[in-house]
Amino acid sequence: MHASTADIQRLSDARFAKHEVWLGQRPIARLRHLGHARRHESTGTGVVMNEQTDKNLPLQGLKVIEMGQLIAGPFASKLLGEFGADVIKIEPPKVGDPLRKWRKLKDGTSLWWHVQSRNKRSVTLDLKAAEGQEIVRQLVAEADILVENFRPGTLEEWGLGWDALSKLNPRLIMLRISGYGQTGPYRDLPGFGVIGEAMGGLRHLSGYPGQPPVRVGVSIGDLLSSLYGVIGVLLALQERNRSGQGQEIDVALYESVFAMMESLVPEYDAFGYVREPAGSALPGITPSNSYLCNDGAYVLIAGNGDSIYKRLMTLMGRQDLADDPRFAHNDGRAQHAELIDAAIGEWTLQHSRDEVIEALKGARVPAGYPYTAADIVKDPHYLARQMIEQVQTFAGPLKVPGVLPKLSRTPGRIGEGGPQLGEHTDDVLAGLGLTDEQRQGLRERGII
């Protein structure tokens, strides 16, 4: 017998009747362990992650359903999974998350996939089909958190919006990340991170005056939204401990970028001042810039603290600039940024990059140089703080970024790389009560 929508609904009704518990006067579905069987691999620290390790993680016991694709939603789920949440990632049958084919591929799968989707379980499901939607309802009924980053209104079209799902599971926390948010005149417009960065103000400030705006080399708008989303989830979990109720979290890409714009709006409001791109400098904060050395390399120097500035000028042999009362504080230095930057640049051009950095270390002036991937993976500080880990993936061993933030008693972990497409579909659906024959029927009809 094949599993039809009616079959799935009957299974759902039977399971809820069997596993219903009460909170006050309101029934809620009891969380169940849906056939969860994680692989556990050694990390670069030599620590083997096992079930006992997982029990010590701060989000252990929380169930997350991820219905997002590409970056913003999946990155938020990744962070939750690193600290113990059981993340079930729903992907379209046969093709999966498009991120599987982004950037550099190995054995047909993006290497990025093993960072973005680590610690997750992959379930293939056609969300446009009624049977697929019913399976989502069953998963959500037992979940703590749902993460999605579809265009606003998409889930509502499938009968899976906040109003419907919160009635099914009043304790559900639903994180929704979109280009412009769930409300407002732009809500229906398509929006990727690049557009959020533009509308949020970042792209106007990036680059050099008179030249086209440039992008940061990573998807910073998406990633900032993910971080705000996770903050929202943790706040909602804390509040749920008091009220017993979940809530909807609305994160817009452009707003996450805009929130990083520091004094951009107050300066415009007070003075009509429109901040413009300034290359590698930081307008109004001096000195903080990149400077060329005699070996063709650049150093970045942040001498913008009052005492740090004096030490920098003394190191350079410019006691006149160190003692000049105009430059005692940042407001005075900012008015003469070109003069100060020129003096620093003249000094760095007399030395190699390594010589400049060593001298600045000795003077306790913050300095560095732009790291490449090759610099990062061999840097002793990265290694000492376990920020480069090696994990086993289905493409072989792979170095990946470590886990943040670093908790003293209950640190996060990387249990495994990204899953194969649909690797856990049978496991999860069997946990919902679907038989082998019913799952095969769903597979034949392209539902899973």
Per DSSP, what are the bridge partners of residue 386? none
Angle between the N-to-C axes of helices 353-362 and 306-315, in degrees from 0 to 180, rounded to the nearest 10: 130
Residue tagged 């729903």 (tokens): 90
Cα separation, 78 vs 83, whole angstroms? 9
**Catalytic position from the list 222, 269, 324, 436:** 222
Cα separation, 424 vs 131, whole angstroms? 18
Sign of torsion, CA 6 8 9 15? positive
Cα separation, 128 vs 148, whole angstroms? 15
Per DSSP, what are the bridge partners of residue 145? 64, 173
Query: Strand locations in 240-324, DSSP E?
Result: 248-252, 288-292, 298-302
Cis, bond preceding 325 (omega within 30 deg of 0): no
Q: How many CB atoms lie within 10 A of CB 1?
A: 8
Told to judge if 295 belongs to the known catalytic residues of this protein, a careful annotator would answer: no
Q: How many CB atoms lie within 10 A of CB 90?
A: 25
Q: Furthest-apart CA pair in the chain: how many Å?
A: 89
- For the annotated catalytic residues, the residue numbers are 222
